[in-house]
Amino acid sequence: MNPLIPIMVILPIACALLLNLFHTKERTVKILAIIVAIALPIIPLIANYGLHYFGGYAPLAQNPTIAQGLPSFITSSALNIFHPAITYSFESAQRLFIFILGLIAFLAILTSLSETKKASGVYAFLMFMGVAAVTAILLTDDIFNLYVFFEIAAITQVGIIIASKIKGNYETALKYMILGSIASPLLLLGIALLLGITGNVNITDIVYSIKNGLVNPQNPVLLTACGLIIFGWLYGSGLPPFHTIKSAVYSKALPHGAALLQAFSVFTLVALGIIIFRIFSYLPFAKVFIIAISLAAMILSITMALMQTDVKRIIGYLAVGELGYIGLGLGIGTAFSITAGLFQAVNEAIITAFLFIGFGTIIYKTRESDIRKMGGMMIETPKAALLVFLAGLAMAGVPPLNAFQSKLMLIQSSLNAGIPELGVIMILMSIVTFMTFMKAFYAVYMRPKPRDLEIKNEKIPKATLFSMIVFLIVCIILGLFPQVATNFLQGLANSLIV
Amino acid sequence: MSLYDIIINRIKKVQGKDEENEPVTSIEASSTLAAEITLLSSLLVAVIMLRFFSNALMIVAIILVIAIAIFAMPIMPRLKREQNDSLNGMIFYVILALGIIAVLFYWGNLNV
């Protein structure tokens, strides 16, 4: 039993509760938040791979002490290998995802502590609870445990928006909750139908039941469960029809909050997408639907990004559009495309966080986010301008930065799979993404400064610049050495195909 | 404005035929144009993928997309208006998507 696996979830929860308890003591909040935020990316690097069974209840096949007292009709059946406890699975892919999530969380928390006048224990509580929830979603092999943390993640996201004090944030938070009240119960209904048909909430056992004929794979209730779980997945990740509310959520949060929220969405998409693929990949229609919805996400979101005038809304729509690339990787369904899609997820989480924090420096200086009222910021913040420009190049897929490698892999996988149309659309959307970014960059940094634009804060905090440089270093490393990430992902991709 | 004018303007607004009151900047115009071209070209390329199901369906869909493009242009301002932050609009599309998913997954899969 590896105690570090549950600690990856328990530590941020415990930290969150303590931060809430001591929220009036600013120094305590800052020290505790920084210490735990540093630990978040370190723990997955030092933890060993393996499974963790809560309560120590391993399957009967691994527990001969209990098994020897049981009748043979139990020990010779599938019950012998079923998992009685909530199981957390920590393998190479989870190591990479939780490390990247921890890194983004650390940098977002560092930025929030340096940019806000008074450190808020309650705000930090929400951030840590969100990180804990998404970490649990990535680790869990129990679909009901996943739903519990899915709901916690949704509520913390709502809290992060409400804490931002941006105009219209309460309304957006309420709309997100109302839409969640449609999607989340349907996700739960899908899980309940799966439980009813298979008798299991453990995903490995559900997959075993379907593959070994214990349940009829073409059972209409199972197909309905597939549709409902996919609907919940659309809500959690921000794919259409939830793309408008997701981009609104990003625009109403503070930039460092938005950086963390988009990481939550990306890793929820990855975790739930992998689970849907594991259980329902035998249905050809499921993959067709994932491709269709991913294309819709790309086309609708990236075209809408071109029409926006709020810089956070532009990045928000681009972030949702980039999710389409990940979905295409999963939908094409080959080992190479799944590796490429998961690599794109890692890259996109980093780049979008980089862009939110980068453009967030402008919002920090001017308290303005409408690009029609901005300009001339290249003279005010030349270093930040250069870093933001590099982030934009990264998002567009310019070598030697990271998204180039993942997008190239995705295009190659679409060609190998005999669907060149997807490759054409991906290239077209990358060009339009760059065009959109350059529109925002020109409006904010390059054109002359409007006379009525006031600079409210003179200096950008060093911690913010440090965060941006760390993101840039990660982008360059993954761009020059993509195998640093893909080596972690290939095992998972190959296991999904078998 | 008389009551009659108010009613007519409201109907025009619902039909999408009302005139924008704000001046249009060149950045907005070029963004809308770029978005329009992107939308149509990506839709046309995506529709070609229907060849995996049926060539006849693909041809019909391509002709339909071209016809919509010719007769319904400009599409982007309407698409932007539809994808606003209105809760009613979002719930409508969510329920519509749920209905499509339920139909496709239940009846579509039974015949695949």
**What is the band of B15 on the pLDDT scale with cuts at 50, 70, 90?**
low
Mean pLDDT of chain A: 92
B29-48 residues touching A, CB cutoff 8 A: 31-32, 34-35, 38-39, 41-43, 45-46, 48
Partners of A285 on chain B (C-beta within 8 Å) are: 104-105, 108-109, 112
Instruction: Find tokens 């634009």 and name the residue.
Output: A453
- Kindly state the average pLDDT of the residues B81-91: 87
Structure token pair of residue A216: 């009829």
- CA closest to A248 among chain B residues: B85
Distance CA A228, CA A210 (A): 18
* pLDDT: which is higher, A201 or A165: A201
For residue A264, count CB atoms less than 10 angstroms from its CB and return exposed for 0-12, middle for 13-18, buried for 19 or more.
buried
Give pLDDT, residue B25.
78
Asked whether the bond before A241 is cis by omega within 30 degrees of 0, the reply is yes
Q: Which of B48, B94, B106 sits opposite A220 (nearest CB)?
A: B106
pLDDT, tens digit (0-9, with 9 covering 90-100), for A218-277? 888 999 999 999 999 999 999 999 999 999 999 999 999 999 999 999 999 999 999 999
Bridging pattern class, strands A87-90 and A50-53? antiparallel
CA distance A34 to A108: 11
- Measure CB to CB from residue A223 to each of B87, B95, B105 and give the nearest one: B105
CA dist A489 and B16 (Å) reads: 48
pLDDT at A406: 96
Task: Decide which of B8 and A40 is more confident.
Answer: A40
Can you give the pLDDT at residue A56? Answer: 82
**pLDDT at residue A21 above 80?**
yes
Helix or strand or coil: residue A49? Answer: coil
Q: Which residues does residue A136 pair with via DSSP β-bridges, in sequence order? A: none
Cβ distance B106 to A182 less than 8 Å, yes or no, reads no
Q: Cβ–Cβ of A227/B102 closer than 8 Å?
A: yes
Who wins on pLDDT, A249 or B105? A249
pLDDT for residue A324:
95
The total number of residues shown for chain B amounts to 112
Q: What's the confidence (pLDDT) of residue A1? A: 66
Q: Determine the pLDDT at residue B5.
A: 75
Please give the average per-residue pLDDT across A21-47, as a whole number. Answer: 93
And the tokens for A312?
A: 């956070």
CA distance B23 to A168: 25
Sequence-distant contacts of A215-222: CB under 8 A, at least 24 apart: A217/A282, A217/A283, A218/B109, A218/B110, A220/B106, A220/B110, A221/A193, A221/A196, A221/A197, A222/A193, A222/A194, A222/A197
Note the pLDDT tens digit of each residue in A290-321.
Answer: 999 999 999 999 999 998 989 999 999 999 99
DSSP characters for A112-142? HHHHSSS--HHHHHHHHHHHHHHHHHHHB-B
**DSSP one-letter string for A459-496:** S--HHHHHHHHHHHHHHHHHHH-THHHHHHHHHHHHHH
A377-384, long-range: CB within 8 Å, 24+ apart, which pairs?
A377/A444, A377/A445, A377/A449, A378/A445, A378/A446, A379/A449, A380/A455, A381/A460, A383/A465, A384/A358, A384/A460, A384/A465, A384/A468
Eight-class DSSP state of A443: I
Using a CB–CB cutoff of 8 Å, tell me whether A311 touches chain B. Answer: no
Q: Mean per-residue pLDDT for A489-493?
A: 93
Nearest to A194 by CA among A280, A277, A82, A85: A280
Inter-CA distances, A8 with A19, A95, A99, A261, A369, Å: 17, 11, 10, 19, 36
Structure-derived torsion over alpha carbons of residues A159, A165, A169, A171, reported in degrees to the nearest 10: 100
Residue B110 predicted with pLDDT over 60: no
Are A186 and B41 inside 8 Å of each other by CB? Answer: no
Q: Which of A259, A282, A297 is nearest to A164 (CA)?
A: A259
Omega of the bond prior to B74 within 30 degrees of 0, cis? yes
Please calculate the CA angle A388-A393-A397 and round it to the nearest 5 degrees: 145
Q: For residue A326, what pLDDT is reported?
A: 96
B6 vs chain A: nearest CA distance in angstroms? 28
Q: How close A281 comes to chain B (CA, Å)?
A: 13
* pLDDT in the model for residue B24: 74
A19-to-A22, A42, A46, A58, B61 alpha-carbon distances in Å: 5, 20, 25, 35, 57
Q: What is the DSSP letter of A214?
A: S
Q: How far is Cα A364 from Cα A115, in angstroms, rounded to an integer?
A: 8
Residue A203 vs residues A84, A87, A268: alpha-carbon distances, Å: 12, 9, 16
List A53's β-bridge partners, or say none: A87
pLDDT category of residue A33 using cuts at 50, 70 and 90? very high
Best interface-test mutation with B: which of A182, A219, A307, A314 has the largest number of B CBs within 10 A?
A: A307
Answer yes or no: do B91 and A178 touch at CB < 8 A: yes
Q: Is 60 exceeded by the pLDDT of residue B81?
A: yes
8 Å CB contact of B49 and A419: yes
Closest chain B residue by Cα to residue A219: B110
Closest Cα in chain A to B25? A372
Instruction: Identify all chain A residues contacting B24, using CB atoms and an 8 Å cutoff.
Output: none
Q: Are A142 and A179 in contact (CB under 8 A)?
A: no
**Confidence class of residue A384 from pLDDT cuts 50, 70 and 90?**
very high
pLDDT score recorded for residue B16: 63
C-alpha pair distances (Å), A138 with each of A154, A235, A261, A370: 15, 17, 15, 36
Per-residue pLDDT of A97-135, as tens digits, reads: 999 999 999 999 999 998 888 888 899 999 999 999 999
Q: Which residues of B touch A283 (CB under 8 A)?
A: 109, 112
- B17 pLDDT tier (thresholds 50, 70, 90): low
Mean pLDDT of A457-468: 88
DSSP A370: B
Instruction: Give per-residue pLDDT as tens, A136-164.
Output: 999 999 999 999 999 999 999 999 999 98
User: E strands, A40-121, where?
Assistant: 50-53, 87-90
The percent of residues above 90 in pLDDT, for chain A, comes to 76
- Whether the bond between A64 and the residue before it is cis, its omega within 30 degrees of 0, is no
Tokens representing A67 are 């098994």
Confidence of residue A34 (pLDDT cuts 50, 70, 90): very high
| B32 contacts on A by Cβ (under 8 Å) | 306-307
Q: Considering only alpha carbons, which residue of chain B is nearest residue A179?
A: B91
Chain B residues with CB inside 8 Å of A250's CB?
none
- Looking at residue B2, its amino acid is S
Q: Where are the domains of chain B?
A: 3-74, 84-112
Model pLDDT for residues B21-78, shown as the tens digit of each residue:
566 778 888 899 999 999 999 999 999 999 988 899 999 999 999 998 888 888 888 8
Distance CA A374, CA A193 (A): 52
- ipTM of the complex, rounded to two decimals: 0.89
Q: Give me the pLDDT at residue A112, please.
A: 92
What number is the average pLDDT over the span A396-411?
94
> How high is the pLDDT of residue A185?
96
Residue A259 to residue A253: CA distance in whole angstroms: 9
Residue in B with minimal Cα distance to A168: B85
Q: From residue A353, give the alpha-carbon distance in Å to each of A39, A318, A465, A476, B37.
A: 19, 12, 13, 15, 29
